[in-house]
Structure 1
Amino acid sequence: MTCTRAISLVAALCSTALLSLPASANGGHFQVEDSSLIPPQTCSLETWGTREEPNTTWVTNPTCNFTGGSDWSLPVTYDVERDDIASVGLEYKRVLLNTGSGPALALMAGGQYQRATEEVDELFVTIPLSFQPMDMLALHVNGGVLHDRLADETYATWGLAATVKTISGPVLIAEMVDDDRREPLYGLGARFDIGSTRWTLDLGVSRDTQVDETAYTLGLNIPRLF
């Protein structure tokens, strides 16, 4: 898929969203971003482990909303085989539009520091758009750019996701992400409530068509630490 085709697809979906309702979040290990924030003056925690032969990584991602207008996240990636922290990120999200009766639009930006090279290797800006055409279905569209500082190249990025709320079972999530430099990644997942708590458990599988590898993920989401 070329960048021009991706932009056209995002524009078409944005037009559809003008007749839709706001949507809820995916979060966790899912790569397509939603356009919501956590409640003001609270912190949440998302953590997940991913196995993709021959590597296993574990990510801990605390997020805080200090003022009510934006989220700050600090994802830390731990390499299990090397028994060491591989990278530390910093991410910012702000809602640009949320009418309460229409689509929600946000701005997200961040970077990632790699300990192996001792420098920030990637910077990104993403515009997430979320809308809900029906009660059981939420859709998320992402469009943005990724700057690779090592290669001094900038790439267009895009993603699509659908979230389906089943009547009495888990929430089901399907997604696709892509950019100018590689082949698409496809993912499927299920989110389960944990008893009477607000905590949720994620199970996911994704297929990276660039390297022809499958990854399996187990995650835990704690929506409110305090």
Structure 2
Amino acid sequence: MMKLILTSCSLVLLLCLSHSAHAARPLVTDDARLTNAHSCQLESWVRAYEGGREMWALPACNFGENFEVTLGGGVYRNQDENYRTEDWIVQFKTLFKPLETNGWGWGLAAGHVKHTDIQPGPNQLGNTYFYVPVSFSLRDDDVIVHLNMGMLRDKQASELKASMGLGAEFKLGGPFKGIAEVFGDNSQNPFYQLGVRYSLVPEVFQVDGTLGQQVNGDSESRWLSIGLRWTP
């Protein structure tokens, strides 16, 4: 039962995962932007739950002008149950209309998630997904709103699910930005989180933190995350 609960939560968080260079950590909802052309970035974070902890690293590279590839993974450990699981993700993303100041943009992302320790071998448990990221810039980028709509195939349950994400980033003053969002799929209550992003080196290095929980969830669904993003 513990494994099923943790796998379900991990899928919801993974399949809406944000890999963009601008919305980025700590948002889960993706945006209509890419890592800079012919360059790479790294997003890494720790997410702590009651009795457990996740650690993630997701490098992403834009090999051309409009094609971003993300390849990385994470590890979850539950100290109380002496339980450990791994997740690996590969994602591809392109844009049809890049986001511009006081405008809007949209694109397409698709990927695959594997839980290698749950079902090893050629038939590893995995989920294939796609979503459309749409972003809107307001008040000269003081507020940027992101909307994701997509589908995912739950291989374990042999069913299709609709996924969604709605998030916003807004300037707080100086190097600080705030974030707020809700995300999930149609099989359970959504998740929400609030957080702050701080730029140590503008457009190069940032740190962030969030508090989140499942809607109507108990204390076990609550988390605290601390992360960083490096765009050399």
Length-normalised TM-score, structure 1:
0.82
CA gap 1:60/1:109 in 2 versus in 1, 3 angstroms: same
Matched residue SS, 1:38: coil
Q: What's the counterpart of residue 121 of structure 1?
A: 126
Separation (CA, whole Å) in 2 of partners of 1:141 and 1:197: 23
Q: Aligned equivalents of 1:99 and 1:201: distance in 2?
A: 23
Amino acid at match of 2:59: P
CA distance in structure 2 between the partners assigned to 1:197 and 1:71 by the alignment: 18
Report % sequence identity. Answer: 23
RMSD between aligned residues? 2.0
Structure 2, unpaired ranges of 5+: 1-20
1:13 corresponds to: none
For residues 87-120 of structure 1, give each alpha carbon's deviation from its aligned partner in whole angstroms, at most 9, with x where no partner exists.
1110111001137463110101111111122314
Q: Could you tell me how far apart the structure 2 residues matched to 1:210 and 1:96 are?
A: 37
Q: 1:7 aligns to what?
A: none
Q: Give the aligned partner of residue 231 of structure 2.
A: 223
1:27–1:33 Cα contact (<8 Å) kept: yes
Q: Which residue of 2 aligns with 1:75?
A: 72
Q: 1:27-176 counterparts in 2 under 5 A?
A: 27-81=24-78, 86-98=86-98, 100=100, 102-116=103-117, 117-118=119-120, 119-135=124-140, 136-176=142-182
Say which is worse superposed, 190-199 or 121-130, in terms of deviation.
190-199
TM-score, normalization by structure 2: 0.80
Unaligned 5+ segments in structure 1 are 1-23
Q: How many residue pairs end up in the alignment? A: 201
| Aligned residue number for residue 22 of structure 2 | 25
